Structure 1
Amino acid sequence: MPVFISYRHTDRVQAMAINARLKLANIKTYLDVLDTESQQTDDITAVITRNITECTHLLAVVSQETAMSWWVPFEIGEATISDRRICSYKIGASALPLYLDKWPKLSGDTDLDFFIDAYRKEAMLERSTGIESFSESARGTYKSNADLFHDQLKNRIRRGY
C-alpha cells in the first residue's frame, strides 16, 4: 500500500519532510527524486503512470508554485482514473484549486497524523489493495472504499480530532 507523493520540485524540501514522516510511521512511499529510473528515462510519463498504479494512495503537496506545474495535475488525474485514495497537503497561504475540494485537504502535522491513522485503518481492514486484476464488481467496491476513506478523513480533519 505505498503512497505516491506528488509535488512540484520547488516544494521538494516539504515533500521530502512528508516522505520522512510517512517512513517513520512505517508507510512505504514513492518519491521520484529518490528513483533513479525516473531521473534517467525519456518516457517519464510511463514511469509516473506505472508508479501511481503500483501505489494505493496519492498525496499531492500543493503550494502557490503548483499552479505552474503540469505534472502534479497529471498525477492527480492518473490517480483519479485508477480510483486511488487522494489527498492534498497545502503549503503556504494561497487558496487551493476548487477541483481539490473533492478529496481531503491536509495542512499541518495534525492532519498528516490523521492521514497516517486512516492509512493504517485501511491497511488493517485490507480495503486498499491493488485493483489491477479485480472484476468489475470488485472495482466498484474498491471505489466505494476509496470514497469512504476520503469522507472519513475529511470529517476527521473538519472535527480536528
Structure 2
Amino acid sequence: MPHPPIGPKDTLGDIYYKTYTEEDRDNVPHHPPWGLKQKDTFLEFSPCRDWFLNSFLPDEVNRQRAQTHDGLYHAYIVGEANTRAANHQIVREWRTMAKERAYWEKYRERLLRKVKDFEKMKDAFSKEMAKFESDRKFEEWGREGFRGKLRAAEDLLAKERADWK
C-alpha cells in the first residue's frame, strides 16, 4: 500500500509510520517515536495521545489501515466488549481478593493471639506440673517417713511390751 506524503502537521510518529517499509519488517526493532519524558504521567492529554498513537508496531498500523470501515467498526466493538468484560471480571476478582486478604489478616492475627495464649498456658501448665510433682514427691516422702516412724514406734512398743512381761 503506498504511503501518503508527509504533511506539514505530521508528528514524528506519523513520519515514522509513513516511512516504514516492508523490507524493514523483520530486521529493524520497533522504537516508538514518541516524545514521552520520565516526568510525564497519563493524567495529561498530550502524553496519553503520544503513547496511544505511537505504541503500536508499524505492521499492525498498516494492517488496521488496510481494513474497511465496517471491519474497523467490527474490530472495535468486539475488542471493546471483550476489554470491558475482562475489566469487569478483574475488578470483581480484586474486590474478592481484597476481602479475602482482609479476612486472612484477621484470621492470622487471631491465630497468633491463640498461639501466644497457648504458649502462656503451656508455661503455666509446666510450672503447675512441676509443683504438683514436687508436692507428690514430698507427700510420698512424708508418708514413707511417717510409716518408718510408725514402724519404729511399733517395734519399740513391741520391744517394751516384751521387756515388760
TM-score tier (shorter): under 0.3
Structure with larger Rg: 2
The structure that is strand-richer by fraction is 1
